[in-house]
Amino acid sequence: MDDIEVRAARPEELPAVAALRWRWTEEVHGSVPMPRAEFAARFAAWAADHTASHRCSVAVRDGEVLGMAWLGVVVRVPHPRSFDRASGDLQCVYVTPAERGRGLAGRLVGDVLAAARELGLERMTVHSSTQAVPGYVRAGFAVSPVLLQLDLREAPPTG
| CA separation for the pair 50, 72 (Å, rounded) | 9
What pLDDT does residue 1 have?
65
Give the pLDDT confidence of 82-120 residue by residue, as tens digits.
899 999 999 999 999 999 999 999 999 999 999 999 999
pLDDT at 153 over 80: yes
| CA separation for the pair 118, 112 (Å, rounded) | 10
Average pLDDT, the chain: 94
Give the pLDDT confidence of 13-28 residue by residue, as tens digits.
999 999 999 999 999 9
| CA separation for the pair 58, 108 (Å, rounded) | 7
